[in-house]
Chains A and B, each alone.
Chain A
Amino acid sequence: MITLSDVHKSFGPKQVLRGVNLEVPKGESMVIIGGSGTGKSVLLKSVLGLVRHDSGMILLDGEDVTRAARDPFLARFGMLFQGAALFDSLPVWQNVAFRLMRGHLKRPKSEAREIAIEKLRRVGLKPDVADLYPSELSGGMQKRVGLARAIAAEPEIIFFDEPTTGLDPIMSGVIDDLIREIVVEMGATAMTITHDMSSVRAIADKIAMLHDGVIQWTGPAADMDSADDPYLRQFITGSADGPIEAVR
Chain B
Amino acid sequence: MATLILAPLATIGRSVMRLLTGVGRVSIYAGATVSHLFRPPFYPREFLIQLMQIGFLSLPVVGLTALFTGGALALQIYSGGARFNAEAVVPSIVAIGMVRELGPVLGGLMVAGRVAAAIAAEIGTMKVTEQIDALVTLSTNPLKYLTLPRVLAATLSLPLLVAIGDSIGIFGGYLVGTTRLGFNAANYIQNTVDFLEAWDVISGMIKGAVFGFIVAIMGCYHGMNSGKGAAGVGRATTNAVVSSSILILASNYILTEVFFSA
Contact = CB atoms under 8 A, between A and B. Distances in A.
Interface of A: 45, 48-50, 70-71, 74-75, 77-79, 81-83, 85-88, 98-99, 102-103, 149
B129 A85 contact: yes
Interface stretch (B11-19, B131-139, B246-254): B131-139
B41 interface: yes
Given A85-B131, A87-B131, A77 B41 contact: no
Contacts of A79: 134, 137
B179 interface: no
B131 A50 contact: no
B137 A82 contact: no
Contacts of A87: 126, 131, 134-135
A103 B136 CA distance: 12
Interface residues of B, number: 14
Nearest to B40: A103
Given A74-B139, A102-B41, A103-B41, A83 B129 contact: yes
B33 to A, nearest CB: 18
Contact of A81 (B41, B130, B139, B140): B130
B139 A99 contact: yes
Interface in B134-184: 134-140
Contacts of B135: 87
Contacts of A82: 130
Contact of A103 (B130, B131, B133, B139): B139
B36 to A, nearest CB: 14
A89 to B, nearest CB: 8
9 contacts: A71-B139, A79-B134, A79-B137, A81-B133, A82-B130, A86-B134, A87-B134, A99-B139, A102-B41
Contact of B134 (A70, A75, A81): A81
A70 B139 contact: yes
Contact of A77 (B129, B130, B137): B137
A74 B136 contact: yes
B138 A99 contact: yes
Determine the main DSSP class of A at the interface with B. Answer: mixed
Nearest to B137: A79
Given A77-B137, A103-B140, 19 more contacts: A45-B133, A48-B137, A49-B136, A50-B137, A74-B139, A78-B137, A81-B130, A81-B133, A81-B134, A85-B129, A85-B134, A87-B134, A87-B135, A88-B131, A98-B138, A98-B140, A99-B138, A103-B41, A149-B138
Contacts of A75: 139
A223 B137 CA distance: 33
A77 B133 CA distance: 13
Contacts of A149: 138
A86 B137 CA distance: 12
Q: Closest 4 interchain pairs by CB? A: A85-B134, A85-B130, A74-B139, A79-B137
Contacts of A99: 138-139
B40 to A, nearest CB: 10
A48 B133 CA distance: 10
Contacts of A45: 133
Contacts of A81: 130, 133-134
A74 B41 CA distance: 16
Given A82-B130, A87-B131, A50 B136 contact: yes
Given A102-B41, A103-B41, A74 B137 contact: yes
Interface in B202-242: none
Contacts of B129: 83, 85
Nearest to B122: A89
Contacts of B140: 98, 102-103
A48 B131 CA distance: 15
Contacts of A71: 139
